[in-house]
A and B are shown apart, each in its own frame.
Chain A
Amino acid sequence: MSDLTKMKLAEARDALRAGDVTSVELTEACLSAIEGAGALNAFVHKTPELAREQAQAADARIKAGDAPSMCGIPMGIKDLFCTRGVASQAASRILEGFKPEYESTVTTQLFDAGAVMLGKLNMDEFAMGSSNETSCYGNAVNPWRRGNDDTALTPGGSSGGSAAAVAADLCLAATGTDTGGSIRQPAAFTGITGIKPTYGRCSRWGIVAFASSLDQAGPMTKDVRDSAILLNAMCGHDPKDSTSADLPVPDFEAMLTGDIKGKTIGIPREYRMEGMPEEIEALWTRGREMLADAGAKIVDISLPHTKYALPAYYVIAPAEASSNLARYDGVRYGHRATLSQGEGINDMYEKTRAEGFGHEVQRRVMVGTYVLSAGFYDAYYNRARKVRTLIKKDFEDVFAHGVDAILTPATPSAAFGLGEMKDADPVQMYLNDVFTVTVNLAGLPGVSVPAGLDKQGLPLGLQLIGRPWEEGDLLNTAYALERAAGFVEKPAKWW
């Protein structure tokens, strides 16, 4: 049975359609894999009954000949997505007990297509973190280890549970969200593929908001083809999200030819960071060679404002978060602090938010409050938005010069140990997103592809950044890179 969970989404789809396997069989196999993987702490709300019901319905649909690609595919859903009647708490105490009366647009589309939800996945609280250590559920754990060393490693964050679950074959695919790298960094840390589409591709409706101008949902899967299939099912115009793009969505899978002859790939010199491990540098060089061998033209490019992306992000994202998270007031949903005699409504707000928000969330809400406060709005917030304009222009300039995609490392290191960054300055943790955050600020699509192992046997990823709305072309370049890299390693099961 356990081999069923190792199937890729595309394989499972084909086997389901051929009648070689049923969704109920696939789903049961995943449910038992999840039961046996408590040590990974990836699934934090399990929904076996719903999964079995959805699997049966999917099998009936497949039998009737009505089977979209996602029909019968058992998946995990990040806890940031509101799912009707199922706990959806963004890994925060402040949403304890919250069961939405509505379904997010992305999960609605997935369920309409016949996908099966196995449960909700661990993450950093409100998607604020790069190691899954800010979760109210405790850490998710990376299925990968450093050789025989049993140190527990981070699966990355914020979509750490999604990454761990896919890498450990607990589900066939998962949803993630990415505000500064939260799909791509965990994908790189766990040897899987993840794409953040162009801002506006996926509806944000029903996804708990962190920084609305940066947040995008996307797939986290076992390979590029699976990402193409899942992305098709997730994106599309939604009148309920005014920033969702009313553009046709091409068939991304059909665009995977692996032919990138004549494409121009840019290598940005500013991504060569001081102190970057030699292995990352070597991987990047190999990636460049692989794309050149596949027939692409490689050019050195400059994105001059790269250095300012993280500081700009740490103004804009907290500013938007402080506004978005103002809704958690202990009135409409979730946690409310117990009040003492004589305490009033302000005490209720202040105590509720102090009890409900974890440390990192409190810090970001307060930083956001500060940069938006009277007297500092221009100096910080407006300046950061101007720098953001320049960062986006950097990309527009290289695209205008004929660059089709940009190749960078996905992360500045391999997965680190849980707790290793505990005493570090918050800014040290923020550096995890140094290669990914530019993409969110510019609203571009970016994909992380596993491309090799480091000396300790941990996966490393390369990132490709594409032109806006050209996810199909980007995924095709990623597909060529994937084929050349030939990454097939899986973590040895210890859990």
Chain B
Amino acid sequence: MSIDTDTAARVAKLARIRVEDDQLPALAQEFSNILDFIEQLNEVDVEGVEPMVSVTPMRLKRRQDGVTDGGMQDKILSNAPDAREGFFAVPKVVE
């Protein structure tokens, strides 16, 4: 399958990764090569096969929906590139 530069640009946008226009043709080519490799999967007869959900047969454990931890605002914010007054700070989102 061949990926065009518009598709590559759309994927980059969806992935929130800035790709400069002059890089798009090379990126599209790389995608095409990887997808060609993946296309081999079309040879497999998967009729009636369930897609795998869990590799080991297990039932997820349930637990009480209760508060078990908290009160550590300073720790939560300690690695933030920009934290102010107890919040994560980001560029203005609402005009």
Chain A residues in contact with chain B, CB under 8 A?
A: 97-101, 198-200, 213, 239, 242-243, 245-246, 305, 307-308, 310-312, 314-315, 322, 326, 329-336, 339, 343-351, 353-354, 357, 362-363, 365-367, 369-371, 373, 380, 382-390, 392, 425-427, 430, 441-443, 468
Contact = CB atoms under 8 A, between A and B. Distances in A.
Contact of A353 (B17, B31, B38, B41): B17
Contacts of B72: 101
Most chain B beta-carbon neighbours within 10 Å: one of A307, A348, A386? A386
Contacts of A384: 38, 41
Contacts of B92: 344-345
B52 interface: yes
B34 A369 contact: no
A304 to B, nearest CB: 10
Given A350-B17, A354-B17, A366-B17, A387 B46 contact: yes
Nearest to B51: A385
Interface in B23-59: 27, 30-31, 33-35, 37-44, 46, 49-56, 58
Contact of B30 (A198, A363, A369): A363
Contacts of A386: 44, 46, 49-52
A388 to B, nearest CB: 4
A312 B41 contact: yes
B18 A199 contact: no
A331 B88 CA distance: 7
B60 interface: yes
A426 B30 contact: yes
Contacts of A339: 91
Contact of A370 (B18, B31, B53): B31
Contacts of A430: 37
Could you tell me the dominant secondary structure of chain B's interface residues?
Answer: loop
Contacts of B8: 366
6 contacts: A242-B61, A311-B39, A345-B90, A383-B46, A387-B41, A443-B55
Contacts of B80: 331-333
Interface in B56-88: 56, 58, 60-61, 63, 72, 75-76, 78-82, 88
Given A245-B56, A386-B46, A331 B90 contact: yes
Given A213-B55, A314-B38, 20 more contacts: A101-B72, A101-B79, A239-B63, A246-B61, A311-B39, A322-B15, A346-B16, A347-B18, A350-B17, A351-B18, A353-B16, A354-B18, A366-B12, A366-B15, A366-B17, A370-B3, A386-B52, A387-B41, A389-B50, A443-B56
Contacts of A348: 90-91
Nearest to A328: B16
Which 6 pairs, one residue from A and one from B, show the smallest C-beta to C-beta distance?
A: A443-B55, A385-B51, A336-B81, A333-B79, A350-B18, A354-B18
A315 B51 contact: no
A373 B11 contact: yes
Nearest to A243: B58
Contacts of B19: 354
A382 B37 CA distance: 16
Chain B interface residue number, banded: 35 or more
A354 to B, nearest CB: 4
A310 B38 CA distance: 8
A199 B56 contact: yes
Given A322-B15, A331-B88, A345-B93, A427 B81 contact: no
Contacts of A326: 16
B8 to A, nearest CB: 8
B67 to A, nearest CB: 15
Given A339-B91, A344-B91, A370-B11, A392 B52 contact: yes
Given A314-B38, A386-B49, A345 B91 contact: yes
Nearest to B45: A390
A426 B52 contact: no
Nearest to A102: B75
A315 B56 contact: no
Residue from the set B14, B16, B39 with the largest chain A CB neighbour count within 10 Å = B16
Nearest to A305: B44
A348 B82 CA distance: 12
A488 B18 CA distance: 50
Given A242-B61, A370-B31, A384-B41, A350 B16 contact: yes
A155 B42 CA distance: 35
B18 A353 contact: yes
A362 B15 CA distance: 9
A363 B34 CA distance: 10
B83 to A, nearest CB: 9
A336 B89 CA distance: 11
A18 B63 CA distance: 45
A367 B75 CA distance: 34
A98 B79 contact: yes
